[in-house]
Amino acid sequence: MLSGKTAVITGASTGIGACIAKKYASLGAQIAIIYIGSPEIAENVKNEITEKYGVRAEIYYCDVSDFDRCRETVKKITEDFGGFDILVNNAGITRDSLLVTMEETDFDSVINVNLKGCFNMIKVCGRNFLKRKYGKIINIASVSAMKGLAGQANYASSKAGIIALTKVTARELGSRNICCNAIAPGFIMTDMTKDLGKEDEYLSQIPLNRLGNPEDVAKVAAFLADEASDYVTGEVIRVDGGYAM
């Protein structure tokens, strides 16, 4: 149960992030929804959460690749909720292409959103967690980091960086009772994967013989936010049906 807890979730208005937000709310947590796209979509998630689960939810526009914006947003969240207990770094983008044809700007933007965004949020949330002597940080990585998937030099590198960042954070903050773990999803059906068109190719390599859904990831994210995982830190949990073992 997450009653009495507050969670900050980036990219929480769509896909995996929205599913984690609803899962946490169903377990009693208040939710700070960080979004960058449509305010209407973010507002819909907020309304669904408050109406269905009776917990407080607020929306915050923030580009996680912008450090100053992250700092201002987390300051506002801290004022609104009086602090928070859980941070989920879920925001992410893809700009796939083969290495030799990849635009430099596509490499930079993926690193900036996925990896630097994760660093920015951990850094600006650090003081809150240190003050509370408690925290659960959950970073959404990808099996692409482990497999080195073709066409994803930028994305796989950013996610491998997130795994390293997770371990450094776990090591540096562990003595203050702050846990940091990563989830590495496999092929999860969301907007990010809807145009990939490689479902059959992946399916033949997935021992559980099905593609994943956001709920598969949200259930593991719930475990990592709960006291059930209090002695788990610096871990990377694959949620991929066995794809990358």
Our finding on whether 191 is near ligand NAP (CB under 6 A) is yes
Query: With binding defined as CB under 6 A, does residue 135 bind ligand NAP?
Result: no
155 as an active site residue: the answer is yes
Q: Is 37 in the site for ligand NAP (CB under 6 A)?
A: yes
Assigned token pair, 48: 């669904």
Pick out residues in 79-118 that bind ligand NAP (CB under 6 A).
90-93, 113
Tokens of 142: 């990808």
Closest C-alpha to 136, from 5, 19, 4? 5
* 73 is an interface residue for ligand NAP by CB under 6 A: no
Q: Which stretch binds ligand NAP (CB under 6 A): 30-38, 49-57, 164-172, 197-205?
A: 30-38
Selected range binding ligand NAP among 8-16, 52-60, 99-107, 200-208, rule: CB under 6 A: 8-16
Cβ pair 16, 222 in contact under 8 A = no
Provide the 3-class DSSP secondary structure of residue 22: helix
Residue closer to ligand NAP (CB basis): 130 or 203: 203
149 is a site residue for ligand NAP (CB under 6 A): no
Q: Which is nearer to ligand NAP, 56 or 69 (CB)?
A: 69
Which regions of 70-177 does DSSP assign to beta strands (E)?
Answer: 86-89, 135-140
Partnered with residue 188 across adjacent β-strands are: 212
Q: Does 14 bind ligand NAP (CB under 6 A)?
A: yes
State how far the alpha carbon of 152 is from the alpha carbons of 106, 119, 155, in Å: 10, 20, 5
Out of 7, 16, 179, 222, the residue judged to bind ligand NAP by CB under 6 A = 16
The span from the CA of 70 to the CA of 73, in Å, is 5
Distance CA 192, CA 74 (A): 26
Q: Quick one: 53 or 187, whose CB is closer to ligand NAP?
A: 187
Q: Let me know: does 87 contact 135? Beta carbons within 8 Å.
A: yes
- Report the alpha-carbon distance of residue 61 to residue 70 in Å, rounded: 10
Shortest spacing between CB 240 and ligand NAP, in angstroms: 8
Q: How far apart are CA 1 and CA 3, in angstroms?
A: 6
The yes or no reply on residue 15 touching ligand NAP (CB under 6 A) is yes
Nearer to ligand NAP, 44 or 177 (CB): 44
**193 touching ligand NAP, by CB under 6 A:** yes
Query: What residues are labeled active site?
Result: 155
